[in-house]
Amino acid sequence: MDILKQTSTTRENLGFLAVLEALEDQERITQRELADVTGLNLKKVNYCLNQLLEQGFVKFQRVRKNPDKRAYLYILTPDGIKAKSQLTYRFLKFTLDFYNKMEKTIKRCLDEMRKSGVERIALFGASEVAKILLSLLKSEHLTVECVLDGNFKGLEFHGVPVLKEDDVKELCVDAVLITSLDTNDKLEDQLRSFGVEDELVWRLP
């Protein structure tokens, strides 16, 4: 999830968790197999394994009858199983806290939009925040006409049509809400390049 990738620390811990989960699912696994299962590149897998080995969460053994003498199998230790459970709990708690906070933030924003006379909106970004927003709109008098996202692969995002850059000219909405948590101005600049007027652009408070 993109909400868990805001800092280098959370990204690193996500890598550890992905490796620990893969090791728990498969009793013995090689680095290359770990890369395939987790979606991490070999350099990242190697870094995670070295850190986990130092902490005693993983152990290794050389692969017998393998022409590559550097090939090893990696095995999760009892301490590793415990660490994986603790890491999973921390991420679940982080996620729940984030969702509770975001629900309140989104509701405030939607209330402000409604008071401003906004009825039809477009979301800029097929993100976790957009997903939360769509689930909350069932109780609001606002309609999401589309999601603008040139990188999203698919025609719909949770039942809402996805438009690309070339489709923005056909947009007929009262507001465009940026769903990204990034605070820089690049997203506003991108919307301007699409032809979206500044007065239509909203951000979460």
92 with 120, same domain? no
Q: What mean pLDDT do residues 53-76 have?
A: 73
Q: How many distinct structural domains can be found in the chain?
A: 2
Full-model pTM = 0.63
Which own/partner pairs from 72-76 qualify as long-range (CB within 8 Å, at least 24 positions apart)? 72/30, 72/31, 73/28, 73/29, 73/30, 74/23, 74/28, 74/29, 74/30, 74/31, 74/34, 74/49, 75/23, 75/27, 75/28, 76/20, 76/23, 76/24
Residue 108 lies in a domain: no
Residue 59 lies in a domain: yes
120 with 189, same domain? yes
88 with 122, same domain? no
Whichever domain contains 71, its CATH number is 1.10.10.10
pLDDT at position 117, please? 93
77 with 7, same domain? yes
85-130 confidence digits (pLDDT tens): 888 888 888 778 888 888 899 999 999 999 999 999 999 988 888 9
Q: Is the pLDDT reported for residue 1 higher than 50?
A: no
Q: Which residue has the higher pLDDT, 128 or 185?
A: 128
Q: Is the pLDDT reported for residue 69 higher than 50?
A: no
**Contact status, residue 191 vs residue 201, Cβ threshold 8 Å:** yes
**Domain final residue pick, 28, 63, 96:** 96
By mean pLDDT, which of 47-61, 63-77, 93-107, 113-127 is the weakest? 63-77
Identify the domain containing residue 52 by its residue range: 2-96
By mean pLDDT, which of 23-32, 47-56, 111-120, 159-168 is the weakest? 23-32
Q: Which residue has the tokens 């507001």?
A: 175
Q: Is the pLDDT reported for residue 4 higher than 50?
A: no
Distance of CA 10 to the CA centre of its chain: 11
38 with 85, same domain? yes
**Domain final residue pick, 66, 96, 126:** 96
